[in-house]
Copies of this chain bind each other. A is one copy, B any other.
Amino acid sequence: MIRFNNDYNCGAHPRVIEALAATNEESHPGYGLDEWCERGAQAIRDHAAAPHAAVHFVVGGTQANFLVIASALRPYQSVVSADTGHINVHETGAVEHAGHKVQALPSIDGKITAAQVEEVAHAFETSTVPEHVVQPKMVYVSYTTEFGTLYAKRELEELSAACRAHGLYLFVDGARMGYGLAAPESDVTLADIARLADAFTVGGTKCGALFGEAVVLANPALHEGFRSNMKQNGAMLAKGWLLGLQFATLFEPVGADAAVAGEAAVGAGAADGAVAEGETAGRPLVAAAARPSAGAEPLYLAIARRADEQALRIKAAFARADVPFFIESPTNQQFVVMPDDVLDDLAKKYAFEYEQRIDAAHSCVRFCTSWSTRPEDVDALVADIGALARAGRLA
């Protein structure tokens, strides 16, 4: 079974596992007050050009999201989100459980706009019964969104400006931050995020770590009491260094050497050059060396970049085969609409995620790459898509 079903179906990047094993017998203070957490935090602060940000490490994304939201809001305040936002649809009502309404806005491609935020803020500010309605106080967006799409830097700047004009916090859920920042189409850096948002996360679980998310509180107004809230919500890991160590490892700069690339694709064997049928092959990793910033890139982005490249090879194959996209994604998740009988056949060889029924004979499915995706597995899928197209089964 070749797995494209999600980006968290196997362990950690080898360097992370090595780091965990190598330090296993070291002794540390507990609860995140250790040197590794400080190193991981500093690496993120450096990379985000946010020297005064508070960085905390938690185990999971739902935990990170409701902690940031509940810690920032007073009881009568709400968080504004795309209706498709993870907090609105896939966290079992964790934000509401923490006491806050999620004000869900209609979204296009998983995104909301500054104009929508302005409208929500304006509606509250001009309400004749302000104490009878929740006060929008935070805007939640995801980078990448649940559909793999990206906000352009200009869009984030507009969202940030709208938030600041109306006294709302901007929170960027970065469970897939790596795949977003590393996408060829992205014009956003982590420093942009840190400059524009009040809080954001840097996801480890889906981006090379065994587990763990970094919570970055760029706005000092959000600092007070965060660790107490963590502990109270069971989000303070006793052996906190396990998290700091992973992020310190993932944010170490890597060169463009083949060894790293080889690692990133766990057990990779097939050469990229072997890809068939004229596809635009994944950008060879050596090419990265030519880019000025490549040498200083943290492992986190290097492995995400590879994952995006493999996803874009799959996307190109679907495009060549005229398979319709459910949504246009420039990152590691690809959503396509295919005939059910073809999906049945593909499912014998590949794992992918069923999304939803489209019509009596077609469904939307997701193919997802990750830091652990092997190029040769993508080769196989690309070849099979081509064969299906030639056989007229994708029409």
Residues of A within 8 A of B (CB): 1, 3, 6, 8-12, 14, 17, 20-21, 23-31, 58-64, 66-67, 70-71, 74-76, 78, 89-94, 96-97, 99-102, 104, 128-135, 205-206, 210-211, 224-225, 227-239, 242, 266-267, 351, 354, 372
Provide the residues of chain B in CB contact with A75, threshold 8 Å. Answer: 70-71, 97, 225, 228-229, 232
Given contacts A11-B23, A234-B235, 6 further A-B contacts (CB under 8 A): A6-B30, A17-B21, A59-B234, A90-B132, A96-B134, A234-B234
**Can you pick out 10 interface pairs between chain A and chain B where the beta carbons lie within 8 Å of each other?**
A11-B26, A11-B242, A17-B21, A21-B21, A59-B237, A63-B235, A89-B133, A90-B129, A92-B232, A234-B235
Top 5 A-B pairs, shortest CB-CB distance: A63-B234, A11-B24, A76-B228, A92-B232, A93-B101
Whether the pair A228, B131 counts as a contact (CB closer than 8 A) is yes
Whether the pair B59, A76 counts as a contact (CB closer than 8 A) is no
Whether the pair B11, A20 counts as a contact (CB closer than 8 A) is yes
A128 to B6, CA, bound (A): 14
Number of copies: 4
A11 to B22, CA, bound (A): 10
Provide the residues of chain B in CB contact with A130, threshold 8 Å. Answer: 228
Minimum CB–CB distance for A256 against chain B, Å:
24
Provide the residues of chain B in CB contact with A230, threshold 8 Å. Answer: 131
Whether the pair A233, B94 counts as a contact (CB closer than 8 A) is yes
Whether the pair A62, B231 counts as a contact (CB closer than 8 A) is yes
